Homo-oligomer: A and B are copies of this chain.
């Protein structure tokens, strides 16, 4: 066979949905997802039970990927302080990219107004894991109040993502980095 083995429909759906949810928002229709993934309608309901299940599965996978991205962004140095500041340098690259569309977790929370929607549990879990990652780094730094500093860094990160999504041409991550440096001391 000349063609490489194609992933199964479940995998194709996850990949296509992750991309479309990010590019066009979590409100994209099921038809668009199926077309993009080249998957039969029935397969979606077999594998995920419905659109809500697909949304939750995509968020779960994205959370793993994004946390891996954060870990890698920290990996530029062994010095705890440089690691955290380097994170904002990576955020600067991320946010400056034309393809950047903002935080997918916040977009999910806003799109699905129903507080019982399974998406909210996933976004909450992601934020918890991100927070724990920040606390871990701050403890490694020997920070006096790691929990409070993590809250501040988290706020700076969220602020950077919002500014990056709405204010084209600026460099919010640089402003956030300077503030982050103050948080660390």
Binding site for B on A (CB under 8 A): 24-25, 27, 102-103, 106-107, 109-111, 113, 123-124, 127, 148, 151-152, 154-160, 162-163, 165-167, 170, 172, 175-176, 178-179, 182-183
Interface of A is mostly: helix
Assembly CA distance A124 to B165 (angstroms): 12
Assembly CA distance A150 to B127 (angstroms): 27
Q: How many copies does the complex hold?
A: 2
CB pair A183 B172 closer than 8 Å: no
Residues in B whose Cβ lies below 8 Å from that of A160: 155, 159
Of all chain B residues, which has the CB nearest A105?
B166
Residues in B whose Cβ lies below 8 Å from that of A113: 24-25, 27
5 closest A-B pairs by CB = A159-B159, A155-B159, A158-B162, A182-B182, A152-B175
Of all chain B residues, which has the CB nearest A181?
B182
Given that A110-B25, A110-B111 are known contacts, is A175 also in contact with B155, CB under 8 Å in the complex? Answer: yes
CB pair B152 A163 closer than 8 Å: no
CB pair A178 B152 closer than 8 Å: yes
